[in-house]
Structure 1
């Protein structure tokens, strides 16, 4: 009986996020509509460049950006930079997300942790992320570990907060069932806490992934040590006053961020359907 009640909660908590299909990408009218503005902008940009309505030194033509893209993408150094940025992003994200989920669930399930840790957590999360940079660079310098810490911090707070909210949203009657039947803690977490909180946890994970990518590029800008990375690509374009390279870097950064977000959305649908 108790297991049926918990399974009912597990089903209801996931049902709202259950997708209609699991395809990674299904073209539809919304995707077509989303292309209207970029295509219109590209056409206007091409026309403005062709008729010299803009200064080509400040705003290069799409052709110039395309030529720069072909040259840049054919260089091994570019792909090394992509690999370095993704490695930092995934490493920092894994650290921040795992600690964030654990901390949020702890706050949501322990009255002592709520009393002892929650006030400090809510104060520190009000501190701007970039306000941590002077402290990080002072103690850790500008190396890879400093970047990973910065990325991990950017992920930790949204993931912890949404994990906490997910645990809080679990109905008290299901908690009472677990207490009455004296379920082991491991069973309660596996059958009640994590399934019930999983929709909110994934909201936090998705926000954390966005913040992680922003922090990855931001750390390469602000904790620059002339290493490799997509942020360093844009910095090199700035130092050389190579506007096509800057625009190319911005486009690639945006495209990679979009792909990462789509991947996590796909994983979320798979995981929640599997729980169902």
Structure 2
């Protein structure tokens, strides 16, 4: 099952993507938010679909595609979770998951333009599997419990400014991760029954040229382990987003140039869809 949100920023309409149809979910919920995801959405939507209670959204194809989840209360990220990416970053594979945060307002639509911050010379792309929480996860007893707390999966681009991340963050990374729009998400939230998170393929492209190409089978820490591990240190709430790391092939490796004004980045994950962003140079407000 695929959920999406269509419409102008701040006015997105929740929909079910059913084949080539977009069915309005407003008879069930005002948004694809934590309350909806915590209330057994798959079965509720399935019943409403069978009963003919979800009308088709007129002119859906003409609407902007927003992030498939409403603004989360938290965006929790895992760094260097692919061994080859750790190596290209000049680091040994971590022995425990490395956690950092992005601010919730980084979450934008999958086709929205992304601004390169003023003064940036090292804005980078990172295709990532995103995990959306459907049930509060706190102090889970084992990784095996994690699946019960996952509402679905999304494509995410963990955009990063490497100078801000490495040189002026004091080792904390988040200054390089939190510029507005630095987390394009979607186009869909896909429920777990349609995704094998242990082996999906991730790819990225810059101006049509391939950059990253790997699978989640190369993760150091699998999704279930990550959700369990994070729950020992913080409470993940319904609607929260967890980014699980990126494979090798980013500009930080030194093999590719960083992003410049007008560059087009595309990222995709099998079964979860494809994004496309144009990067634009931002100017200081004077």
Under a length normalisation based on structure 2, what TM-score does the superposition of the two structures give?
0.22
Larger % of helix: which? 1
Under a length normalisation based on structure 1, what TM-score does the superposition of the two structures give?
0.23
- Structure with more relative contact order (C-alpha pairs < 8 Å, separation 6 or more): 1
Structure of higher CA gyration radius: 1
Larger % of strand: which? 2
